[in-house]
Amino acid sequence: MSKIDVAIIGASGYTGGELIRLLYKHPKADVTTITSRKQEGQHVSSLHPHLEDVDLTFTNPENKDIDADLVFLAVPHGASMKIAPDFIENDKKVIDLSGDFRFQSIETYEKWYGIKHEHPELEAVFGLPEINREQIKEAQLIANPGCFPTGAILSSLPLVENQLVDRIILDSKSGVSGAGVKANPTTHYPTCSDNIKPYAITSHRHTPEIREQLHNFGTHDTKISFTPHLVPVIRGIITTNHSYLIKDGVTADDVYSLYKDYYNDEPFVKVLHDNNVPLLASVRGTNYCEIGGISLDDEDQLVVISAIDNLTKGASGQAIQNMNIMMGYDETSGLDHLGLYP
């Protein structure tokens, strides 16, 4: 198959820049359009200085005039639902990086995002390849998962599918880039440097996304709690999964073996050798989710650690993984590079 032409709508943010970086050397895709209303006419390096050698300029065309085989929507929540139909109606494949199409329940989306959904008739596939690979192959519209849910779900799936636990408490810590490119008081350097800040302690929008996907496995009775924290790093999410075993006689070694078998054929999930503890520095710039540090205390509380880069496996890298699956390419195309440790 010849190369496809790709458009990135809203390419001025971190996820847009990461899409361009990763697609620049992709063997099967050419980025032909990057859009930004404010940056129209400016070279891509005006916002993304690491892309100096990329021959792209921000434009602001009408959606109907965008000539591409596949479109990435890297625009805010609430904006994607307004423009996705323009591309769907023109038979383009669409991968949306916002939260607008992630929920099976429109009522859940409207409750947690506080936005009336304008196109509930559009059917999207939740784009976590480890659970929906076959559906992604046939989809026209993909809802790329949130960054927190990616690490949280992957750290939990073997447990809920095998009904080993009845409660999961997810403690996640994210780098500042997860808040996006636009500055605000929370991400101001004096606020976030040398500091750790819990936020949206029981009300983060990614909570129902995690619950909805995990409840598709095992039973709906598993209680799931999630609290995010902002930490003074640029990239990465590390999630500590505290779960309560309900089956007797299960050891930490048993759980480790379960994870090794469960993810044995997944190209972007690494269950670490010797049950080593995942590090943010190991996954920086990669599309990998690392899992390890699997431990069990004397009260049958299980701990599982996962680490991802929020901008790659948590966003743009996963979007390209979905593109590869949709287009019938090797799933690892353009994504199989290793991390940047230290």
Neighbours of 106 (CB within 10 A): 14
Residue 38: count of CB within 10 angstroms of its CB: 9
Spatial contact of 175 and 148, defined as CB atoms under 8 Å apart: no
Contact yes or no for 148/206 (Cβ under 8 A): yes
Non-local (6+) Cβ contacts of 14 within 8 A are 177, 180, 181, 311
For residue 143, what is the enclosing H or E element?
Answer: strand 141-143
What's the one-letter identity of residue 173? K
Identified catalytic residue from 66, 142, 143, 147: 147
Distance between CA atoms of 175 and 221, rounded to whole angstroms?
32
Confirm whether 147 is a catalytic residue.
Answer: yes
Omega cis (within 30) before 342: yes
Pair of tokens at residue 110: 């409207």
Sign of CA dihedral 86, 89, 90, 92: positive
∠107-311-3 over CA atoms, to 5°? 95
Tell me the helices (H) and strands (E) count for the chain, helix number first: 10, 14
Please tell me the distance from the alpha carbon of residue 309 to that of residue 316, in angstroms, as a whole number: 10
**CB-based contact 169:242 (threshold 8 Å):** yes
Which tokens hold the place of 290? 């690392």
Which residues are tagged catalytic?
147
